[in-house]
Chain A
Amino acid sequence: MAKRIDLSDLDIFYGNFKAVEGVNMTVEPRAVTAFIGPSGCGKSTVLRTLNRMHEVIPGGRVEGKVLLDGQDLYGAGVDPVGVRRTVGMVFQRPNPFPTMTIRDNVAAGLKLNGLKDKKKLDEVVEKSLKGANLWNEVKDRLDKPGAGLSGGQQQRLCIARAIAVSPQVLLMDEPCSALDPISTLAIEDLINELKEKYTIVIVTHNMQQAARVSDQTAFFNLKATGQPGHLIEVDTTHKIFNNPSEKATEDYISGRFG
């Protein structure tokens, strides 16, 4: 089910501006990979190239290769819509569809792609909400609007929505940055469960969170403002946080900059 992602010589552009340069790394399947680094270093940009969401922004383009189990996501004839069905995404701010009920929010991916079988949809809704640890809280109000939930619940709803289309990979762009510590804990527990089934990549500003949830950590940095971001090093989370190979990584993690 879960897939490996190989990035090779990845350059990412916004129009003529090179935002990220020369990324080479492997994202392991059935594991959590964390992207850390200062703001503007390109970690979210790299994340968004993994499901071709980067090109949604006008002028966004990519050079180099992103291989999903050997298949180039940017190869000729690859449909970005198909890629996004395989590589799901959870965003920084919970963004349930405001016009839809809880049930419809979870079923949105399948419904909007043409699945009509109500029984099948209900099954998927239940399974996905259970998968996102939200079922018990919302099972009695599935037909209430999704926007009526608390922030943490909304974010789990978004995770349920993302896993409802049964992706191979789940990308999370600072999924807890808008949440309180208790909701954060709930999401982190969920990430731990989800990694049994999915390849997970998470961008986070919270170093403790990266240390808690991830198996592998990639540190990004940029030399100066206006320069493209780089991948400084990627290794097991244990190594990055205890004995990083690069001085820049150690400085960042310990809170010393420059």
Chain B
Amino acid sequence: MTAVPVQDSVTPHDAPQIDLSGRSGGRSLKNNIATVVMYLAFAIAVIPLVWILVSVIAKGGDLLLDSAWWTHSQSGITVRKEGGGAIHAIQGTLLQGLVTALISVPIGVLTAVYLVEYGRGKFAKAVSFMVDILTGVPSIVAGLFIYAVFMTTFGMTRAAIFVCLALTLLMIPTIVRSTEEMLKLVPNELREASYALGVPKWKTIFSVVLPTAFSGIVTGILLGLARVMGETAPLLILGPYTKAIASNLFSGNMATLPTMINQDRGEAITLPAHERIWAAALTLILLILLLNLLGRFASRFSKV
């Protein structure tokens, strides 16, 4: 190896100076217009959001500060009477959300595992396409589908479990998509490292791939859950409201926050029932906000 001689760099003092100050008026004007347009778009997007929040808090906030709201149901309370709480609806929403998650998570996560780790060829493409279609199914269609199958065809009575089934239809595609994205982020080298140790494929998936993507998958699940807990259409079709606390998923009525909001919607705005509608709305917003925050928090522990 011969060393390459370092060339003396000659600074061209006599070279003409390049003009760096030239900011043409037209360009800077365009830049300012673009900036204004973007800020305006942001403001337009934020106005309704802030408006909703302010009015919901202003009209329903008081009731939430009352401890009875979190401990009592609406049992024995009429639209003209003050008092009672939303525990029956909160409990119903949480219970239905939990059952929906229990059904959707295994199916959704394993479908994503299939698509990322096993799926090749036509069948996988078909599954992926179906998931795309399911993502776009409006919630009322999911509700009507379950109604058509279980009520119309099998003649069953409406119950909370059917709400859960309809919500499952809505939740599975979101879980599949988010889990799929997280699994794709797991570096292939980790799978190879595990195979090279003589670990079988299924064990590699369960002990290396899924734990690595775990927090991301949890985030996806919580965000998906937050989405379906606010769904109303399937509840209106499949889950009749009640004022009492109910925990039987398989028979009888069960209250939820969206149906509670819907229940006394038609009453005059001067009645106490009306304030409870705003309070129920605020409760639902807070519940979903909490799930979203939990989801974001879980994503902090991401290993990928």
User: Do these two chains really belong together in a complex?
Assistant: yes
Chain A residues with CB under 8 Å of chain B are: 51, 53, 56, 58, 81-86, 88-89, 91, 93, 95, 97-99, 108-109, 112-113, 147, 158, 161-162, 165
Whether the pair B304, A98 counts as a contact (CB closer than 8 A) is yes
Interface size class of B (residues with CB under 8 A): 20 to 34
Interface residues as binary, B202-229 with A (CB distance below 8 Å gives 1, 0 otherwise): 0110011001101000000000000000
Verify B212–A108 contact, CB threshold 8 A: no
Instruction: Tell me whether B198 and A165 are in contact (CB under 8 A).
Output: yes
Which of A91, A93, A112, A162 has the most CB atoms of chain B within a 10 A radius of its CB?
A112
Which chain B residue lies CB-closest to A161? B197
CA distance A83 to B203 in the complex (A): 17
Q: Is the CB of B189 within 8 A of A112?
A: no
Partner of A95, one of B190, B198, B200, B214: B190
Is B187's CB within 8 Å of the partner chain A? yes
- Nearest CB in chain A to that of B211: its residue: A99
Q: Are B198 and A84 in contact (CB under 8 A)?
A: yes
Q: Apart from A51-B196, A81-B195, A81-B198, what are 20 other A-B pairs with CB-CB below 8 Å?
A: A53-B192, A83-B198, A91-B189, A91-B192, A91-B196, A97-B212, A98-B190, A98-B304, A99-B208, A99-B303, A108-B197, A108-B199, A109-B197, A109-B199, A112-B204, A113-B197, A147-B303, A158-B193, A162-B197, A165-B197
Task: State whether the Cβ of B120 lies closer than 8 Å to any Cβ in chain A.
Answer: yes
- Interface residue? B299 (CB, 8 A): no
List residues of chain B with CB within 8 A of the CB of A93. Answer: 189
A sample of 23 inter-chain contacts (CB < 8 A) reads: A56-B191, A56-B192, A58-B120, A81-B200, A82-B198, A84-B196, A84-B197, A85-B197, A89-B192, A95-B193, A97-B193, A97-B208, A99-B214, A108-B197, A108-B207, A109-B198, A109-B199, A112-B197, A112-B199, A112-B207, A113-B197, A113-B199, A162-B197
On whether the beta carbons of A162 and B196 are closer than 8 Å, the reply is yes
The 0/1 profile, CB within 8 Å of A marked 1, for residues 235-248 of chain B is: 00000000000000
- A147 neighbours in B (Cβ, 8 Å): 303
Residues of B within 8 A of A89 (CB): 192, 196
Q: Kindly identify which residue among B191, B192, B194, B304 contacts A112, using a CB–CB cutoff of 8 Å.
A: B194
Cα A238 to Cα B100 with chains together (Å): 68
Q: Which residues of chain A are within 8 angstroms of B211 by Cβ–Cβ distance? A: 99
Nearest CB of chain A from residue B208's CB, rounded to whole Å: 6
A219 to chain B minimum Cβ distance, whole angstroms, is: 21
Residues of chain B in range 51-102 having any CB-CB distance to chain A below 8 Å? none
Cα A28 to Cα B203 with chains together (Å): 33
Measured between C-beta atoms, what is the minimum distance from B287 to chain A in Å?
31
Q: Is the CB of B197 within 8 A of A53?
A: no
C-alpha gap A112/B196 in the complex (Å): 12
* Residues in chain B near residue A56, CB distance under 8 A: 191-192, 195
Tell me which residues across on chain A come within 8 A of B192, comparing CB atoms.
Answer: 53, 56, 89, 91, 95
